[in-house]
Each structure stands twice: as C-alpha cells, then as structure tokens.
Amino acid sequence: MQLERLDEATRALAKASTLEDIKKIEAASHGMENGIKACLKACQEYDDSGLEQQNKWAEIRIKAQRKGGELLAQLSVSPGKRTDLTLPTDGQGSTKKDEIEKNNLSRGTADRWQQIATVPVETFENHIQETKEKHQELTSASILRLAQAEFRYIQMWTLGAPDLHPKCTRELLAEAKM
C-alpha cells in the first residue's frame, strides 16, 4: 500500500475494517516515519519541523496499532467455555489465532496492539498531544508504558488497595510517561 500523504493515510485508517488493511497502513506509516528519521539523521538537521512530520506518521502508525488491537479484542470467547482449551472467535468461525496467522502477525505484535487498545481514549489522545507539544519523539513504547500503568492501577484497585486516592492514578500515569 502506497501512502505518500498524511491525509491519504488518515482516510485509509478511518475506512480500515480488517486486520489486513490496518497492518498495511501501520507498515506504510512506519516506513514513512523511519524514512523521515533516517533522512534527518543523514542531513544532521534534526529540527522541530522534521520531528513534527515524523510524529505525524508515528501517530497514524500508533492509531493503526490501537485499531488493530481493538479488532483483535472483539474476537470474544463464547460464554461458558474454558478459555484455556478453546480460542476466541469472531462469530464467523474465525479464531483469534487464525486471524493472527492469516495476517502474518507475530503473537508479540498482536499482544502489544491489544495492550495499546486498553489505554483509555482520553489518556491516549492526551499523551499524543502532550508529546507533540513537548517536541518529543512519539513512540509505541510510551503508549505501552501508559497501558502498563493502567494495568497496575486496575490490579491495585481489584486487590483492594487501601486508601487509594485518585491522585495515585495520576502519579502512576505521570510515571509511565517518563
């Protein structure tokens, strides 16, 4: 898939409804992002405008990963069945494993995409905006740190952590951004 313009990539991502489409958009935007990064390093002119372009492509890539994770998460388990013996399906007989294999995704990639999809939308969008405003490089790793912080918070909450104050959540999320 050739995506040479940001607006084309954004429209393609909005229309994407299959893992195959999302994977192509993710790969194309990753290629553009890395191309810009390599060019800037070769020219030794790593300025804000170059980083801005790189981050725009990174944003599309990360949003594609999130959308892919959301699609994978929709492959739900049939109620009442043991999840350690049966694989989730999409209601059409296709299992999560089948979809991952059909689209040549590694298990690690599928897991990362699903982790990215667990970050609340508001937190996700705020992180992207804040990273761009601070003129920092936008990465999947930073989003994954947010997902891990959210997971730790949920674990603490479900384990009945005493005196858990809402401020603790903000501190965990702020820690994840570092």
Under a CB-based contact definition with an 8 Å cutoff, are residues 111 and 139 in contact?
no
In single-letter form, the type of residue at position 147 comes to: A
pLDDT at 166: 53
How does residue 77 score in pLDDT terms, banded at 50, 70 and 90? very low
pTM equals 0.76
**More reliable by pLDDT, 124 or 99:** 124
Per mean pLDDT, which range of 18-32, 117-131, 162-176 is the poorest? 162-176
Share of the chain above pLDDT 90, in %: 46
Q: State yes or no: pLDDT of 78 exceeds 80.
A: no
pLDDT at 100: 87
**More reliable by pLDDT, 98 or 12:** 12
Q: State yes or no: pLDDT of 163 exceeds 70.
A: no
| Pick from 60, 61, 70: nearest CA to 119 | 70
Per mean pLDDT, which range of 22-31, 133-142, 168-177 is the poorest? 168-177
Q: At what angle do helices 48-73 and 140-158 cross, to 10 degrees?
A: 50
So where are the chain's domains?
A: 1-117, 120-178
**More reliable by pLDDT, 125 or 41:** 125
> pLDDT, tens digit, for every residue of 49-71?
788 989 999 999 999 999 999 99
pLDDT at 69: 94
How does residue 87 score in pLDDT terms, banded at 50, 70 and 90? very low
User: Burial code of 158-171, b = ≥16 C-beta within 10 A, e = fewer?
Assistant: eeeeeeeeeeebee
